[in-house]
């Protein structure tokens, strides 16, 4: 029998209108959006459905919104595919919180609350610094690390072969982009982000998140959950909290996380949440495996049709 891993989207996947068709067609989705609004004390569902885009994109809104979308997609898939089995979860940066919630390590409400605060803390760190990020296309990890060392920036995301992301002070990122192109990168593209995520410039957010997580209820997950920091399974609740704090400044080792799952025999991956970025990474990492995406009603229906026959 094939082993299934659920993958949860990260920040940047948000788009105005996400979840609206779920809420229109499924009472369970409407209930979850209502629970989210009540838990947070403001109409997050309206931002998801109607925007405005500038407000939805704000880190303190985008993070709980993407957590919520991943959770709604997860619950609807379980509702539509009776007896859905999965043996592991993983999430890209922010998505790691949804992955932990899906594995029973934290509650839906706590996940919403903590991702809202995480987003706020990171927004504050962005406003206090002059950070930026850039995607480095088709330059190997070694030369990219050399560029980072020379420019004084950090490697933030190791997403898949041919796509790395660097993070740091804005003028240093501009220098790094020029160095990367001189070293053979096909492209070095500054990203439209608020600051330098997964770098030392997020240090103030890291300290605040640690304080919030110290009082949060986290238990051991019921299935394997792969950590972004270690690219290995989470263990006990204390180390889960520690790694979530480290993750704010540490690089996201996504390709290594997926390769670990492949080594364990996983052959079926289901992306949950808005967008299809993770499916795109999977095509570069392991195009031979089955990868499904669930982010709206049509993709949910398509995934259900496949899963009911396999």
Whether residue 88 sits in one domain with residue 168:
no
Which of 190, 218, 234 delimits the end of a domain? 190
Within a domain: 56:
yes
pLDDT in tens, 126-151: 999 999 999 999 999 999 999 999 99
Confidence of residue 181 (pLDDT cuts 50, 70, 90): very high
Residues 17 and 102 occupy one common structural domain: yes
**pLDDT confidence bin for 280, thresholds 50/70/90:** very high
pLDDT (mean) for 197-205: 97
Q: Assess whether 141 and 229 both reside in one domain.
A: no
Q: Is 218 inside any structural domain? A: yes
The answer to whether residues 283 and 260 belong to one domain is yes
Mean predicted lDDT score pLDDT of the chain: 97
Q: How confident is the model at residue 75 (pLDDT cuts 50, 70, 90)?
A: very high
Segment 281-307 mean pLDDT: 98
Q: Give a yes or no: residue 178 inside a domain.
A: yes
Q: Which domain holds residue 66?
A: 3-127+200-307
The answer to whether position 84 is within a domain reads: yes
122 and 48 in a common domain = yes
Residues 146 and 267 in one domain: no
Residues with active-site annotation: 93, 198
Give the end of a domain, one of 162, 190, 218: 190
Q: Are residues 167 and 247 in the same domain?
A: no
159 and 238 co-located in one domain: no
User: Is 195 part of any domain?
Assistant: no
- What is the per-residue pLDDT across 6-63, written as a single tens digit (0 to 9) for each? 999 999 899 999 999 999 999 999 999 999 999 999 999 999 999 999 999 999 999 9
The whole-angstrom separation of Cα 96 and Cα 239 is 14
pLDDT at 2: 84
9 in the same domain as 72: yes
Q: Is residue 263 part of a domain?
A: yes
Q: Which residues contact 34 (CB under 8 A, 6 or more apart)?
A: 45
Quickly state the pLDDT bin for 1 (edges 50, 70, 90).
Answer: low
Residue 97 lies in a domain: yes
Per the structure, the count of domains in the chain is 2
Per-residue pLDDT at 99: 98
pLDDT exceeds 90 at position 310: no
* Per-residue pLDDT tens over the stretch 210-236: 999 999 999 999 999 999 999 999 999
CATH value at residue 176: 3.30.70.250
Taking residues 146-170, what's their average pLDDT? 97
Are 174 and 57 members of one domain? no
Q: Which residues of 247-276 are buried (b: 16+ CB within 10 A; e: fewer)?
A: bbbbbbbbbbbbebbbeeebebbbbbbbbb
Final residue belonging to a domain, choices 151, 172, 190: 190
Give the Cα-Cα-Cα angle 182, 139, 136 (nearest 5 degrees).
Answer: 85
- The percent of residues above 90 in pLDDT, for the chain, comes to 97
Longest dimension (CA), the chain: 54
For position 204, what pLDDT does the model report? Answer: 96
Query: Kind and range of the H or E element at 283?
Result: helix 277-285
Alpha-carbon distance of 62 to 49, in angstroms, equals 13
Residue 112 is part of a domain; what is its CATH number?
3.40.366.10
Same domain, 46 and 178: no
Strand ranges of the sheet holding 154-160, from the earlier edge strand across to the other edge: 154-160, 163-169, 131-137, 187-190
Please check whether residues 122 and 138 belong to one and the same domain: no
Tell me what pLDDT residue 309 has: 85
């Amino acid at each position: 029998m094939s082993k299934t891993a659920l993958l949860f989207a990260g920040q940047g996947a948000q788009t105005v209108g996400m979840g609206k068709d779920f809420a229109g067609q499924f009472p369970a989705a409407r209930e979850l959006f209502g629970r989210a609004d009540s838990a947070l004390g403001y109409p997050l569902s309206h931002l998801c459905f109607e925007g405005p885009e500038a407000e939805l994109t704000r880190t303190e809104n985008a993070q709980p919104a993407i957590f919520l979308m991943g959770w709604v997609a997860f619950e609807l898939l379980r509702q539509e595919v009776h007896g859905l089995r999965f043996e592991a979860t993983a999430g890209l940066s922010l998505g790691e919180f949804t992955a932990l919630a899906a594995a029973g390590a934290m509650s839906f409400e706590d996940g919403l609350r903590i991702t809202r605060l995480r987003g706020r803390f990171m927004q504050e760190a962005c406003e206090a610094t002059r950070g930026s990020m850039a995607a480095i296309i088709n330059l190997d990890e070694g030369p990219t690390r050399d560029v980072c060392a020379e420019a004084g920036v950090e490697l933030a995301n190791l997403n898949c072969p041919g796509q790395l992301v660097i993070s740091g002070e804005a003028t240093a990122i501009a220098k790094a982009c020029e160095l990367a192109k001189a070293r053979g990168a096909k492209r070095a593209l500054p990203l439209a982000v608020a600051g330098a995520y997964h770098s030392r410039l997020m240090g103030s957010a890291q300290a605040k998140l640690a304080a919030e997580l110290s009082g949060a209820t986290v238990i051991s997950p019921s299935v394997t959950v792969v950590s972004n920091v270690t690219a290995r399974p989470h263990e006990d609740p204390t180390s889960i909290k520690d790694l979530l704090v480290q993750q704010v400044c540490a690089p996201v080792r996504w390709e290594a996380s997926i390769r670990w799952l492949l080594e364990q025999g996983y052959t079926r991956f289901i992306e949950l949440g808005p967008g299809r970025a993770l499916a795109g990474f999977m095509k570069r990492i392991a195009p031979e495996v089955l990868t499904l995406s669930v982010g709206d009603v049509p993709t949910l229906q398509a995934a259900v049709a496949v899963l009911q026959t396999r």
